[in-house]
Amino acid sequence: MTNLVACDLDGTLLDKQNRIMAGTKDVIQAFHHAGGSFMIATGRLDHDIVYVENQLGIAGEFRISQNGAVIKDKENRILLKKEIHSDVAQRLMRDLKEWDVRIEVSDINHRYFPSPRKEGEVAEFIDSSIIEPDLEQKVGVQIQPIIFLIFGDVGIFAEIKQSLSKKYDGYVDFIATSPHTLEILPHGVSKGTALEKTMEKLKANSKQVVAIGDSENDLSLFDVAGYSFAMEHAPEAVKQKATVVKTSVKTCMEEILEQLKSK
């Protein structure tokens, strides 16, 4: 019996316009009222999860943000916070100058931009961004980073990973979160490891857990959950890893509710 659903936001619960598909709220609330826990796991900061939960009219037992580096419970207490070591962060900033890419950094509460983004490029619901022209000098000193977000393309990302992965092995991991974004996170951080931590707290086993996602950073969720849904627009590797491919979170939740009714 499914007790816990871990769901990605961008490209999964949210469409390209940051909207929740009509009817999705109703099925999620029905699952919640049936005793299930719907938990959001995203690369966004925590306050965007709270915003979406308010739109859904629910509050998950836990919230997984920044791709698993941060976990908070529904009372807003921090269960997990993993940061990149100050010295490593400073060296990364210097090394990344070799490539002509835009670098943004996030800590637990804010995203720091070296310069303003173009109009329409800030997709956060709650914009906690800070423009910091001296970002390189402040990272690892005044700003304790959780994630480096790099904008570019798959070719540049491959170069960065090939050049830096061995140098920073054991300190950070590199993961493509979209065709145009690469994230550098503390080593061992993932949505899946965060999900395992919440499962321990909830005393849930994998057979009780369903994961829903659409990208590479959701694969770790699929590894942990006993059942998984991939969105039909997901890359082929993601779809192959999932139990089932669906068109929307709404159809995923409808299937889960039908299974609950049949028990």
What pLDDT is recorded for position 174?
95
Between the two ends of the chain, the Cα-to-Cα distance in Å is 8
157 and 103 co-located in one domain? yes
Q: How many domains does the chain have?
A: 2
d(CA 85, CA 88): 5
Residue the block writes with tokens 């491919």: 245
Do residues 154 and 74 make contact, with C-beta atoms less than 8 angstroms apart?
no
Do 72 and 201 lie in one domain? The reply is: yes
Query: Do 164 and 115 fall into the same domain?
Result: yes
Structural contact between residues 43 and 66, judged by C-beta atoms closer than 8 angstroms: yes
* Boundary of a domain, candidates 136, 171, 186: 186
In the listed set 186, 213, 247, which residue is the last one of a domain according to the structure? 186
CA atoms of 145 and 108, how far apart (whole Å): 8
What DSSP state is assigned to residue 196?
H
pLDDT of residue 121: 67
What does the longest C-alpha to C-alpha distance in the chain come to?
A: 59
Do 199 and 182 belong together in one domain? no
Characterize the bridge pairing of strands 111-113 and 130-131: parallel
73 and 197 share a domain? Answer: yes
Q: pLDDT value at position 223?
A: 97
Q: Are residues 241 and 223 in the same domain?
A: yes
For residue 79, the model assigns a pLDDT of: 97
- Give the predicted TM-score (pTM) of the model: 0.94
Range of the domain at 147: 86-186
218-245 confidence digits (pLDDT tens): 999 999 999 999 999 999 999 999 999 9
Instruction: Find out whether 205 and 129 touch, Cβ atoms under 8 Å.
Output: no
pLDDT value of residue 119? 72
CATH number at residue 178: 3.30.1240.10
Distance of CA 130 to the CA centre of its chain: 21
Token pair for residue 89?
């962060």
Q: What is the structure's pLDDT at 122?
A: 66
CB atoms within 10 A of CB 37: 22
pLDDT tens-digit series, residues 58-72: 999 999 999 999 999
pLDDT tens digits in sequence order for the chain, 263 residues long: 579 999 999 999 999 899 999 999 999 999 999 999 999 999 999 999 999 999 999 999 999 999 999 999 999 999 999 999 999 999 999 999 999 999 999 999 999 999 998 776 667 899 899 999 999 999 999 999 999 999 999 999 999 999 999 999 999 999 888 888 999 999 999 999 999 999 999 999 999 999 999 998 999 999 999 999 999 999 999 999 999 999 999 999 999 999 887 76
Those residues whose C-beta lies under 8 Å from the C-beta of residue 119, and which sit 6 or more positions away, are none
Of 147, 171, 186, the position where a domain reaches its end is: 186
What pLDDT is recorded for position 178? 81
